[in-house]
């Protein structure tokens, strides 16, 4: 693991030293109250050969790490905060204000609140991503985000691997998340992390 403070001020962990990094990027977003080191330790091992992992640190301080949003409610009404978290990521991967990037393929893995961020990025700028993996996460239910959604059952919708450990959560966020994923993405469910590497390989362009 290679720690770095990016030119944008983001604290980050890379999977490879600078001279070995490729243009096929896999972003990894930690859960609320966690750190980029934690997700790097657990998920860099799932990255396919030829890809480069980048674990970013969220912007809000928490007791044992950082949060992407101040609220963990899936009905997050603070749209500016949600959008700010998304642009925190885009600032780290874009070369300019127009969204130009040197990466030929970008995928994202999000854990918990990080999965909420990953699916938000997919809603804000779907053309930037070739695939998303969510682990024990949720999708944010916000009317302003909903206005950005791709048309229902669009043939160009992105592939999403949604991994849930243990029993299916009996919570409104789980119901909303599944409905949104089914409607707006090419949605695949799994129960173990063994599905991550094959999924990432399929979506590398």
The 10s digit of each residue's pLDDT in 142-193 is 998 999 887 776 767 899 999 998 766 556 688 899 999 999 999 999 999 9
Strands (E), the chain: 2-5, 11-14, 24-29, 52-56, 60-62, 65-67, 105-111, 131-135, 159-163, 186-190
What value, to the nearest 5°, has the Cα angle with vertex 189 and ends 153 and 204?
75
Q: What is the tens place of the pLDDT at every residue in 79-102? A: 888 899 999 899 999 876 667 788
User: Which domains are assigned to the chain?
Assistant: 2-203 (3.40.50.1820)
User: What confidence tier does 129 reach under pLDDT thresholds 50, 70, 90?
Assistant: very high
Give yes or no for residue 105 having a pLDDT over 60.
yes
Residue 194 to residue 46: CA distance in whole angstroms: 8
Structure confidence at residue 174 (pLDDT)? 86
* Residue of 91, 88, 107, 109 whose CA lies nearest to 99: 91
Specify the pLDDT at position 139: 94
What is the structure's pLDDT at 130? 95
Q: At what angle do helices 79-93 and 113-124 cross, to 10 degrees?
A: 80
CA distances from 63 to 8, 32, 116, 189 (A): 24, 10, 20, 32
Q: Which of 52, 43, 50 minimizes the C-alpha distance to 15?
A: 52
d(CA 148, CA 81): 16
């Amino acid at each position: 693991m290679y720690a770095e403070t990016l030119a944008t001020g983001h604290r980050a962990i890379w999977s490879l030293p600078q001279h070995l990094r490729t243009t096929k990027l896999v972003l990894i977003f930690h859960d609320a109250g966690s750190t980029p080191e934690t997700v790097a330790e657990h998920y860099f091992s799932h990255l396919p050969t030829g890809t480069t992992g980048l674990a970013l640190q969220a912007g809000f301080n928490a007791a044992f790490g950082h949060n992407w949003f101040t609220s963990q409610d899936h009905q997050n009404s603070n749209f500016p905060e949600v959008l700010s978290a998304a642009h925190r990521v885009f600032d780290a991967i874009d070369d300019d204000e127009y969204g130009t990037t040197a990466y030929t393929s970008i995928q994202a893995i999000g854990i918990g609140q990080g999965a909420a961020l990953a699916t938000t990025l997919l809603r804000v700028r779907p053309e930037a991503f070739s695939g998303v993996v969510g682990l024990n996460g949720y999708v944010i239910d916000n009317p302003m985000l909903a206005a950005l959604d791709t048309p229902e059952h669009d043939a160009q919708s992105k592939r999403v691997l949604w991994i849930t450990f243990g029993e299916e959560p009996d919570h409104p966020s789980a119901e909303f998340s599944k409905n949104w994923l089914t409607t707006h993405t090419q949605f695949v469910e799994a129960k173990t992390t063994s599905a991550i590497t094959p999924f990432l390989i399929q979506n590398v362009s």
